[in-house]
């Protein structure tokens, strides 16, 4: 697994670099970057709002990820 990760990390880094710098295949414009950032930000905000709502109802969403079973 470590060998696969050692090979995969440089490949993914190169892929991200190419996607960010090549206009034909990537998000090089300001609008594209804003759309992606907005998608991440809206997901983050939705999670924290739902977490606050569920916590006020007595449901602790932190317990969902407290114990992840071994694979």
pLDDT tens per residue across span 14-71: 988 887 788 777 666 777 778 878 999 999 999 899 889 989 999 888 887 777 776 6
C-alpha 52/C-alpha 46 separation (Å) is: 10
Check residue 58 and give left, alpha or beta (phi > 0: left; psi -120 to 50: alpha).
left
pLDDT at 15: 85
Domain ranges of the chain: 2-64
Q: pTM of the full predicted structure? A: 0.53
pLDDT bucket at 4, cuts 50 / 70 / 90? confident
C-alpha 10/C-alpha 15 separation (Å) is: 9
List the structure tokens of 15: 């892929």
C-alpha 51/C-alpha 58 separation (Å) is: 10
Pair 27, 33: CB distance under 8 Å = yes
């Amino acid at each position: 697994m470590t060998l696969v990760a050692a090979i995969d990390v440089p490949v993914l880094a190169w892929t991200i670099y190419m996607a960010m710098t090549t206009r034909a295949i990537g998000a090089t414009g300001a609008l594209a970057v804003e759309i992606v950032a907005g998608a991440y930000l809206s997901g983050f905000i939705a999670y924290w709002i739902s977490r606050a709502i569920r916590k006020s109802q007595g449901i602790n969403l932190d317990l969902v990820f407290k114990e992840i079973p071994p694979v």
